[in-house]
């Protein structure tokens, strides 16, 4: 019994000694600043990636960006306050249509203003839905949001003149600003706009979840009654969490419309909402890294499956359906063998490697 | 004490995660015995019963019922071998009626003697007879405990295991349940293992007692002896 | 007035299918606390199997029986092979896995039978105000609900099922094989789901045919109370009527969103559904 303990002490001692002075300087920075620094670092990494890859990859990187933002918002909701929403795609749709309408009807506004307006619109929509569903819990909330996800696209058909019916809306957004022309392509510029918004959004989400609101949400997730007795305003906190999540979703939808230049009701199906939630759990629910793995999974599993279908020379029906089947199979396998998702699996792998090295 | 114990526990060890909840526990219960298992909170009493009926897996050791090894059997098989377990709080299913709860206890039996057993149980617990078609959620705490014991008896067990039947009950009702257990043993020859925190009450009706402390058998002996032994009483039983 | 009566009758008939799907969701929810998102997918497999067999044999009723059998077997298999190992680790993961299953099965059906619609002829005429098909739908769901009630309430098997669902540990201590009951529950639920599929699918089937039916089914279950089979049936009929009126008077595009309004209204008065039992909060 005594020998392993001694070994463990020996192992941790040097790392601690080396690690203590470093985080202390980092730790004195206020949290929002720390998150902003990390956000800037993330943006730098993405920019570097954009320069070494081509135009096609730029679009994929942009897709990973807005998908990650949407999932990170969902993560705050599901992982934070424990509310399971199956209607996240609905908020993406609201953001996307808001972006399209703004570009079509107020073409003078810069993209930053559009994104700002989308934030306001999403907050209002989130407040409306969040307040209406505040009393629902568990599967009842899931059911209500599921209906939202299925029902909302119907609006595009009902208000055909404004929203364009099943053909949706097509928009043209401004390309590269003059001073950068020749330096970056349009796709790269769009990816940069997306990622700038995304990292700011992620920094805000990270700051919220490590602050008082985040603690309150986790208290509610763990035990609603106990949290209420400890003085946490349960209803208000749940609505706020819902609003934050919908804002992230709306912003993500706006960015998607900006990148793709088209908005149709058929891109916001139930499958999108379900995929977002499923990918979140697959990536790992406890950390923003999980949201990144989830976004990469959504974007790249689709691409790989399509390539695979082409390589296998399948029929058209098979080719169209392979991505969704592939995603489902990966999802089931990941959850079967890594209950904590990809992030959880990576963490335990790291812990095992560290244990072996020392 | 007869020669061949009905229920024999040999070197039973069980864990909850890294915690060793039972540590090499050995004890024998003779046929027609009425035994008390005593000890403080967390001494391993509940774990002992749960391990006996397979709700919790033993790490090592054996449980023999009439000489047959039942250690690794799934719970529903253990029950059919003749071990009945009334869990802490009774485990009454409040969504079912009183009669359905009772019938559930004998469902696995293929014989048609159910009717007589059923009548006997109702005779034993008049309050249950009065409310047999009412939902079990309408019963009081004492009546629920009666229903739980009644359901266990419906299986016509060889050994009845009870986990803290006195929990949350008024002293008078506890006394009635204890007396009933004793009568039951005297009349039908049922073997009873009674896990209790209420040591004084349990020792006053049982004939043999085991004291668990931190997962080990710390003391054992005839109940009146344990009751008279001041050292054991002060050290483990707290009265 | 005739318009209103027509809408009412149509609403009841489509409500029967929602009620059946809601019933299948409630059976599984009661036993495992899981909302089975794969339910419409299992129904899809059953209905496509029925389609193929009807094509081969020329008999609608052989296909109908095949659908029910396929539903039963598929539900039991899914529980044993996929759900059980995962439900042990985490509830949320098990729910997400049913989502994954939905994607796999829906895509798989598309790969095998194609994404385009197939005409699936029906045993009864479905034209007219209250068509024979409508009558069959109501009668079939009514019969199944009654049968289910009788089995659950009056047979030893039903008592075992209920005990296993309400209190698994007490059930095991009474000698009930809880694992077997779970598998049986999934099988029965999927059989009823397959029935819902056979009622709601034709005359045209495609891999997405049950998306909207599922949404209304889950709405019905939620409105009626996920814990209560009667609630599911009543909820299904209510949703059927509500959707029929909304489509008839306001336009079919708004039907789904009005389901949301119904859910929010009902649940803000009764957060656990119309027929929820007041249960003690476990702290």
What is the CATH code for B5-89+157-237?
3.40.50.300
User: What pLDDT shows up at residue B114?
Assistant: 66
Residue A100, classed as helix, strand or coil, is helix
Query: Residues of C with CB below 8 A from A309's CB?
Result: none
Query: Residues of C with CB below 8 A from B151's CB?
Result: 174
Domain boundary assignment for chain B: 5-89+157-237
Among the partner residues C167, C177, C178, nearest to B93 by beta-carbon distance: C167
User: What pLDDT shows up at residue A11?
Assistant: 40
Q: Could B96 and C178 be called an inter-chain contact, meaning their C-beta atoms sit closer than 8 Å?
A: no
CA distance B103 to chain C (A): 9
b/e per residue C197-223 (b: at least 16 CB within 10 A): bbbbbbeebbbbbbbbbbbbbbbbbbb
pTM: 0.81
Among the partner residues A132, A155, A318, nearest to C111 by beta-carbon distance: A318
The Cα diameter of chain A in Å comes to 77
Minimum Cα–Cα distance from C280: chain B residue? B137
CA distance C157 to C154: 9
Among the partner residues A142, A155, A270, nearest to C211 by beta-carbon distance: A270
Q: Could A132 and C268 be called an inter-chain contact, meaning their C-beta atoms sit closer than 8 Å?
A: yes
User: What pLDDT shows up at residue C186?
Assistant: 93
Query: Residue C265 pLDDT > 90, yes or no?
Result: no
Measured at the CA of C260, the angle between CA A68 and CA C16, to 5 degrees, comes to: 120
Query: Residues of B with CB below 8 A from C170's CB?
Result: 87, 91-93
Q: Could A335 and C93 be called an inter-chain contact, meaning their C-beta atoms sit closer than 8 Å?
A: yes
Give, in order, the Cα–Cα distances in Å from A184 to each of A46, A175, A187, C164.
14, 10, 8, 64
Chain A segment 303-322 residues within 8 A of C by beta carbon are 314, 317-318, 320-322
Half-sphere exposure (Cβ direction) of A181: Cα atoms closer than 13 Å: 5
- B124: tokens are 């034993």
Residue C167, classed as helix, strand or coil, is coil
User: What pLDDT shows up at residue A286?
Assistant: 75
Q: What is the mean pLDDT of chain A?
A: 81
User: What pLDDT shows up at residue A297?
Assistant: 87
CB B107 within 8 Å of CB C174: yes
User: How many residue pairs from chains B and C have C-beta atoms closer than 8 A?
Assistant: 63
Q: What is the mean pLDDT of chain C?
A: 85
Give, in order, the Cα–Cα distances in Å from C19 to each of A208, C76, C199.
42, 21, 11
CA distance C97 to chain A (A): 5
b/e per residue A277-306 (b: at least 16 CB within 10 A): bbbbbbbbbebbebbbbbbbbbbebbeebe
Half-sphere exposure (Cβ direction) of B228: Cα atoms closer than 13 Å: 6
Residue B35, classed as helix, strand or coil, is strand
Can you list the domains of chain C with their CATH numbers? Answer: 7-269 (1.10.3470)
Query: What DSSP letter does each residue of B83-143 carry, written as one string?
Result: EEEE-TT----TTSBHHHHHHHHHTT--SSTHHHHHHHHHHH-HHHHHTTTSBGGGS-HHH
Among the partner residues B55, B75, B93, nearest to C163 by beta-carbon distance: B93
Q: Could C160 and B95 be called an inter-chain contact, meaning their C-beta atoms sit closer than 8 Å?
A: no
E strands, chain C, are 118-119, 204-205
User: What pLDDT shows up at residue A9?
Assistant: 38
List the single range of B137-141, B186-190, C130-134 with lowest mean pLDDT. Answer: C130-134
Which of A116, A114, A142, A84 minimizes the C-alpha distance to A247? A116
User: What pLDDT shows up at residue C69?
Assistant: 95
Which of C175, C178, C180, C227 is best to mutate for the B interface (most B CBs within 10 A)?
C175
Minimum Cα–Cα distance from C96: chain A residue? A278
Which of B36, B51, B33 minimizes the C-alpha distance to B164? B36
pLDDT tens-digit readout, A92-129: 999 999 998 988 888 888 888 888 998 999 999 999 88
pLDDT tens-digit readout, B71-94: 888 988 888 888 999 998 888 898
Mean pLDDT of B130-158: 88
Query: Residues of C with CB below 8 A from A322's CB?
Result: 107, 111
Minimum Cα–Cα distance from B157: chain C residue? C174
pLDDT per residue rounded down to tens, chain A (358 residues)? 334 433 433 343 343 444 444 556 666 777 777 778 787 788 778 777 777 777 778 888 888 889 999 999 998 888 877 788 888 889 999 999 999 898 888 888 888 888 899 899 999 999 988 888 877 777 788 888 888 888 888 788 878 888 877 788 888 877 777 777 777 788 888 888 888 888 888 888 888 888 888 888 888 888 888 888 888 888 888 889 899 999 999 999 999 998 888 888 888 888 888 888 888 888 888 788 888 888 888 888 888 888 888 887 777 777 778 888 888 888 888 888 888 888 888 888 888 888 877 6
C158 touches chain B (CB under 8 A): no
Query: E strand or H helix at B213, and its extent?
Result: strand B208-213
CA distance A144 to A147: 5
Q: Could C90 and A320 be called an inter-chain contact, meaning their C-beta atoms sit closer than 8 Å?
A: no
Minimum Cα–Cα distance from A87: chain C residue? C260
Which of C164, C170, C280 is best to mutate for the B interface (most B CBs within 10 A)?
C170
User: What pLDDT shows up at residue C280?
Assistant: 41
Among the partner residues A132, A150, A327, nearest to C103 by beta-carbon distance: A327
Measured at the CA of A248, the angle between CA A246 and CA A249, to 5 degrees, comes to: 60
Beta bridge partners of B16: B19
CA distance A184 to C282: 60
Residues in Cβ contact with C118 at an 8 Å cutoff, skipping those fewer than 6 apart:
C51, C204, C205, C206
Residues in Cβ contact with C202 at an 8 Å cutoff, skipping those fewer than 6 apart:
C120, C121, C122, C126
Among the partner residues C29, C211, C273, nearest to A150 by beta-carbon distance: C211
Q: Work out the burial of residue B48: count CB atoms within 10 Å of its CB; fewer than 13 is exposed, 13-18 middle, 19 or more buried.
A: buried
Which of B228, B158, B175, B216 minimizes the C-alpha distance to B37? B216
C159 touches chain B (CB under 8 A): yes
Mean pLDDT of C158-163: 90
């Amino acid at each position: 019994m005594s020998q392993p303990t001694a070994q463990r002490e020996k192992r941790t001692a040097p790392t601690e000694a080396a690690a203590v002075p470093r985080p202390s300087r980092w730790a004195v920075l206020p949290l929002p600043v720390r998150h902003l620094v990390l956000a800037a670092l993330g943006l730098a990494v993405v920019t570097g990636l954009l320069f070494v890859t081509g135009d096609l990859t730029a679009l994929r990187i942009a897709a990973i960006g807005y998908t990650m933002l949407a999932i990170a918002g969902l993560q705050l909701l599901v992982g934070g306050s424990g509310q399971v929403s199956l209607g996240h795609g609905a908020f993406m749709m609201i953001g996307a249509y808001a972006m399209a309408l703004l570009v079509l009807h107020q073409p003078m506004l810069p993209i930053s203003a559009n994104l700002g307006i989308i934030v306001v619109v999403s907050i209002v929509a989130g407040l409306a839905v969040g307040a209406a569903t505040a009393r629902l819990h568990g599967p009842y909330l899931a059911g209500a949001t599921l209906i939202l996800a299925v029902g909302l696209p119907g609006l595009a058909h009902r208000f055909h003149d404004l929203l364009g019916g099943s053909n949706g809306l097509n928009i043209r957004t401004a390309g590269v600003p003059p001073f950068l022309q020749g330096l970056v392509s349009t796709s790269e510029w769009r990816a940069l706009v997306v990622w700038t918004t995304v990292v700011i959004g992620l920094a805000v989400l990270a700051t919220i979840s490590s602050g008082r609101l985040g603690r309150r949400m986790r208290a509610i997730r763990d035990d609603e009654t106990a949290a209420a007795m400890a003085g946490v305003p349960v209803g208000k906190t749940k609505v706020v969490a819902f609003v934050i999540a919908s804002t992230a979703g709306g912003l993500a939808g706006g960015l998607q419309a900006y990148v793709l230049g088209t908005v149709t009701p058929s891109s916001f199906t139930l499958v999108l909402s379900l995929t977002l939630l499923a990918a979140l759990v697959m990536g790992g629910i406890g950390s923003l890294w999980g949201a990144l793995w989830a976004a990469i999974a959504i974007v790249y599993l689709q691409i790989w499956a399509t390539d695979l279908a082409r390589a296998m020379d399948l029929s058209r029906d098979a080719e169209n359906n392979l991505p969704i089947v592939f995603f489902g199979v990966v999802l089931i396998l990941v959850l079967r063998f890594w209950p904590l998702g990809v992030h959880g699996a990576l963490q335990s792998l790291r812990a095992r490697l560290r244990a072996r090295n020392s | 004490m007869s020669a061949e114990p009905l229920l024999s526990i040999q070197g039973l060890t069980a864990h909850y995660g890294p915690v060793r909840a039972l540590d090499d526990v050995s004890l024998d219960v003779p046929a027609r015995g009425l035994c008390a298992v005593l000890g403080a909170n967390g001494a391993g009493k509940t774990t002992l019963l749960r391990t006996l009926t397979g709700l919790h897996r033993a790490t090592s050791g054996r449980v023999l019922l009439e000489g047959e090894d039942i250690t690794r059997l799934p719970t529903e098989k253990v029950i059919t071998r003749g071990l009945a377990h009334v869990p802490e709080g009774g485990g009454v299913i409040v969504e079912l009626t009183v009669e359905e709860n009772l019938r559930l206890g004998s469902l696995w039996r293929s014989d048609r003697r159910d009717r007589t057993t059923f009548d006997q149980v109702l005779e034993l617990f008049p309050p249950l007879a009065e409310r047999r078609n009412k939902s079990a959620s309408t019963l009081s705490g004492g009546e629920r405990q009666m229903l739980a014991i009644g359901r266990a008896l419906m299986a016509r067990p060889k050994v009845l295991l009870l986990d803290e039947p006195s929990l949350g009950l008024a002293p008078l009702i506890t006394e009635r349940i204890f007396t009933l257990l004793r009568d039951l043993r005297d009349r039908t020859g049922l073997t009873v293992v009674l896990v209790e925190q209420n040591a004084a009450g349990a020792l006053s009706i049982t004939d043999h007692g085991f004291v668990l402390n931190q997962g080990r058998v710390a003391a054992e002996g005839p109940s009146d002896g344990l009751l008279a032994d001041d050292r054991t009483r002060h050290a483990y039983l707290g009265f | 007035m005739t318009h209103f009566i027509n809408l009412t009758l149509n609403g009841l008939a489509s409500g029967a299918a929602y009620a059946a799907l809601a019933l299948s969701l409630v059976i599984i929810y009661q036993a495992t606390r899981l909302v089975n998102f794969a339910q419409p997918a299992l129904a899809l497999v059953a209905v496509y199997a029925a389609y193929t067999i009807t094509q081969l044999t020329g008999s609608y009723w052989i296909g109908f029986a095949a659908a029910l059998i396929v539903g039963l077997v598929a539900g039991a298999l899914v529980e044993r092979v996929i759900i059980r190992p995962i439900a042990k680790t985490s509830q949320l993961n098990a729910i997400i896995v049913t989502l994954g299953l939905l994607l796999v099965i829906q895509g798989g059906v598309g790969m095998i039978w194609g994404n385009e619609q197939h005409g699936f002829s029906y045993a009864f005429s479905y034209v007219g105000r209250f068509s024979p098909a409508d009558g069959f739908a109501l009668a079939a769901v009514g019969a199944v609900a009654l049968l289910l009630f009788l089995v659950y309430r009056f047979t030893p098997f039903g008592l075992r099922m209920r005990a296993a669902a309400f209190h698994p540990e007490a059930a095991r201590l009474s000698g009930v094989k809880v694992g077997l009951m779970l598998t049986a529950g999934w099988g029965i639920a999927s059989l009823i789901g397959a029935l819902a599929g056979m009622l709601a699918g034709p005359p045209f089937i495609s891999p997405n045919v049950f998306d909207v039916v599922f949404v209304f089914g889950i709405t019905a279950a939620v409105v009626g109370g996920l814990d209560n089979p009667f609630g599911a049936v009543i909820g299904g009929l209510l949703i059927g009527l509500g959707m029929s009126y909304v489509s008839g008077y306001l336009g079919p595009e708004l039907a789904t969103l009005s389901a949301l309004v119904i859910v929010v209204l009902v649940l803000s008065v009764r957060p656990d559904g119309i027929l929820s039992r007041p249960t003690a909060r476990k702290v």
